[in-house]
């Protein structure tokens, strides 16, 4: 496969800036068609972004002979179904995060793609962003000594639309798996496992403090990596302040960074403090999509796969008390 010709199932907000233009900008990659259940909205997106074809039926897009790879940009409850359709058609799959609503669904997606011999990639794009590659470089250099502790804190005020009761699939557990913890926490746990190795145990408590929606808005977690390193985290989406901070502490220093706010990476040690300001690219998924395209062309490897992403769902299931099967 030398030229990757994408069809996207879903063309909502994530496609406008984060991923859609990236599918067009990457070398040897073209966005051929988009699908949305509302055909007029699919046509509107296609015309605005210079996409040749639009559909309101996923199977028709998947069966299009001009399309040889499928991007699934829909809420998590549909990822398994669309992955199966794409795999059965023999087309590589790139699916949005979180990978699915449960670890069990993730495992089924992996097995289906293996059975049909198609690769499965997941949009944990922080694995390819320069800011987090800098964090990985710092950790891998050994300058922080032996890593002993991870601290995560993500606080956000309740959104006005959530308070008013407006429809939002991200806080509908049947669609999203849980609340904002699944949507945002998944990025955090995937990146931590990329930086520090796999998590082998996790537990947590949850609460719905604001009663603005059905899902939890507070999660407190403890987790341990295969290496023995331990971590703690608090996710609170009903506060009066915004905090986005992850700190990794070693015997000789620490590194601190944010996931969603700010471009900073701070490194503190006995020799002083260093500050790196590394902004994200305009189309934030483009570095990862480049690696996906390169792997499909046989010239590189993508670091975010179904196998790696399913581990993130396992961690979240454990924290949410769902008792997934042993990983």
Q: Is residue 219 part of a domain?
A: yes
Q: Which two tokens stand for residue 150?
A: 């991870």
Q: Is residue 104 part of a domain?
A: yes
User: Do 118 and 136 sit in the same domain of this protein?
Assistant: no
User: Do 26 and 67 sit in the same domain of this protein?
Assistant: yes
User: Do 228 and 185 sit in the same domain of this protein?
Assistant: yes
Q: Are strands 147-157 and 29-35 parallel, antiparallel or unpaired?
A: unpaired
User: Do 119 and 182 sit in the same domain of this protein?
Assistant: no
Name the residue among 87, 105, 295, 290 with its Cα closest to residue 182.
Answer: 105
Please give the tally of structural domains in the chain. 2
User: Do 199 and 232 sit in the same domain of this protein?
Assistant: yes
User: Do 164 and 267 sit in the same domain of this protein?
Assistant: yes
Q: Is residue 327 part of a domain?
A: no
- Domain CATH number, residue 81: 3.40.50.720
For residue 292, the enclosing domain spans: 4-124+285-300
Q: 224-248: string of b/e by CB count within 10 Å (b at 16+)?
A: ebeeebebebebbbbbeeeebbbbb
Q: Which two tokens stand for residue 276?
A: 């790196």
User: Do 100 and 209 sit in the same domain of this protein?
Assistant: no
CA distance 234 to 184: 12
Give the pLDDT confidence score for residue 261 in this predicted structure. Answer: 87
Give the pLDDT confidence score for residue 270 in this predicted structure. Answer: 86
User: Do 43 and 180 sit in the same domain of this protein?
Assistant: no
Q: Is residue 319 part of a domain?
A: no
Q: Is residue 108 part of a domain?
A: yes
Q: Are strands 218-225 and 230-239 parallel, antiparallel or unpaired?
A: antiparallel
Give the pLDDT confidence score for residue 324 in this predicted structure. Answer: 82
Q: CB within 8 A of 302, min separation 6: which ones?
A: 121, 288, 291, 292, 294, 295
Predicted structure pTM score: 0.96
Residue pLDDT tens, the chain, 327 long: 899 999 999 999 999 999 999 999 999 999 999 999 999 999 999 999 999 999 999 999 999 999 999 999 999 999 999 999 999 999 999 999 999 999 999 999 999 999 999 999 999 999 999 999 999 999 999 999 999 999 999 999 999 999 998 889 999 999 999 999 999 999 999 999 999 999 999 999 999 999 999 999 999 999 999 999 999 999 999 999 999 999 999 999 999 999 998 899 999 998 899 999 999 999 999 999 999 999 999 999 999 999 999 999 999 999 999 988 777
Q: Is residue 305 part of a domain?
A: no
- Domain CATH number, residue 137: 3.30.360.10
CA distance 134 to 120: 26
Q: Is residue 315 part of a domain?
A: no
Extract long-range pairs of 300-306: CB within 8 Å, 24+ residues apart.
302/121, 303/127, 303/128, 303/194, 304/121, 304/122, 304/123, 304/124, 304/125, 304/127, 304/128, 304/190, 305/119, 305/120, 305/121, 305/122, 306/99, 306/106, 306/109, 306/110, 306/113, 306/120, 306/121, 306/122
Q: Is residue 146 part of a domain?
A: yes
Give the pLDDT confidence score for residue 326 in this predicted structure. Answer: 75
Give the pLDDT confidence score for residue 271 in this predicted structure. Answer: 86
């Amino acid at each position: 496969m030398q030229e990757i010709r994408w069809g996207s199932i879903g063309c909502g907000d994530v496609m406008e800036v984060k991923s859609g233009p990236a599918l067009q900008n990457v070398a040897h990659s073209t966005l051929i068609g988009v699908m949305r259940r509302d055909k007029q909205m699919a046509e509107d997106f296609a015309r605005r972004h210079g996409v040749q074809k639009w559909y309101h039926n996923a199977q028709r897009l998947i069966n299009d002979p001009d399309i040889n790879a499928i991007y699934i940009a829909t809420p998590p409850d549909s990822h398994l179904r669309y992955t199966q359709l794409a795999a059965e058609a023999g087309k590589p799959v790139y699916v949005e995060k979180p990978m699915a609503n449960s670890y069990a669904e993730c495992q089924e997606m992996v097995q289906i793609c293996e059975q049909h011999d198609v690769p499965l990639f997941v949009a944990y794009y922080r694995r390819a962003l320069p800011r987090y590659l800098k964090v990985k470089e710092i950790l891998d250099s050994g300058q922080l000594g032996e890593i002993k502790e991870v601290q995560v804190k993500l606080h956000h005020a309740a959104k006005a639309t959530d308070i008013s009761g407006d429809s939002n699939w991200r806080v509908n557990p049947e669609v999203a798996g849980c609340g904002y913890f699944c949507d945002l926490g998944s990025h955090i746990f995937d990146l931590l496992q990329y930086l520090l190795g796999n998590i082998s145990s996790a537990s947590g408590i949850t609460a719905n403090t604001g009663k603005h929606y059905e899902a939890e808005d507070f999660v407190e977690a403890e987790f341990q990596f295969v290496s023995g390193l331990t971590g703690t985290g608090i996710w609170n989406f009903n506060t009066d302040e915004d905090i986005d901070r992850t700190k990794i502490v070693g015997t000789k220093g620490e590194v601190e960074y944010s996931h969603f706010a700010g471009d900073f990476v701070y490194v503190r040690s006995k020799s002083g403090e260093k500050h790196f300001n590394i902004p994200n690219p305009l189309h934030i998924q483009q570095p990862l999509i480049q690696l996906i395209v390169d792997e499909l062309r046989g010239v590189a490897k993508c670091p975010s796969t179904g196998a790696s992403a399913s581990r993130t769902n396992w961690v979240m299931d454990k924290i949410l008390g769902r008792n997934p099967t042993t990983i």
